[in-house]
């Protein structure tokens, strides 16, 4: 699998998890999804006066299957 297709698969898995588990539906929605290392990604969700941060660690198997192996949540106020 080429790197672009792998990124797409990872983003799809992360966004599916956000859709299933993120409950604070107000605010401005997803403002970014960015790769912070080869296996970690951060989703930023804008809320009034803050940004919720969802940090994901993923593993991609040899067949291209994406597995979320870790997730932490945080908040950045502004």
State which residues form the domain around 28: 3-77
| Domain total of the chain | 1
Q: What is the CATH number of the domain that holds 22?
A: 3.10.450.630
**DSSP category for residue 6:** H
Dihedral, 24, 30, 39, 62 alpha carbons, nearest 10:
100
pLDDT in tens, 28-40: 899 999 999 999 9
pLDDT in tens, 32-66: 999 999 999 999 999 999 999 999 999 999 888 99
What was the pLDDT predicted at 34?
Answer: 96
b/e burial code for range 1-24 (CB count within 10 A of at least 16 → b): eeeeeeeebbbebbeeeeeeeeee
46 sits in which H/E element: strand 40-47
């Amino acid at each position: 699998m080429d790197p672009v297709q792998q990124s797409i698969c990872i983003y799809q898995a992360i966004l599916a998890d956000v859709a299933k588990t993120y409950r604070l539906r107000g605010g401005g929605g997803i403002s970014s999804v960015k790769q912070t290392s080869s296996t970690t990604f951060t989703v930023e969700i804008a809320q009034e006066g803050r940004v919720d941060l969802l940090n994901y660690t993923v593993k991609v198997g040899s067949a291209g299957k994406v597995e979320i192996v870790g997730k932490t949540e945080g908040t950045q106020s502004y």
